[in-house]
Amino acid sequence: FWRKRLEENSVPTNSSEESAVRLTDPDGMVLEIVENATVRALPTAKYAPTIPGEHRIVHVQGAVLSSLRPDSTREVLRELLE
């Protein structure tokens, strides 16, 4: 579903797995949409009527932060989160 929808909207995708779609957002962040049968059974959200319930994104697994200046980034995060 997602691979087809993204390609129909001119968003290039790539992935070697059938259950995953990898793409790059406009800011250069690499994202991956992964199908997970155990999550699919959750109730569907009402705010995405064009997405069939079995294909809605209902969970974000995690994120990786990349930085050109990791020491500076670490300090900013420490100050903000402590």
pLDDT in tens, 34-68: 887 776 545 655 667 788 877 877 777 777 788 89
To the question of pTM greater than 0.75 for the whole model, the response is no
Rounded Cα distance between 5 and 17, Å, is 17
28 Cα distance to chain centroid: 13
pLDDT in tens, 17-33: 788 899 988 888 888 88
Rounded Cα distance between 73 and 1, Å, is 37
Sheet containing 30-34, strands listed edge to edge, beginning at the edge strand earlier in sequence? 13-14, 20-24, 30-34
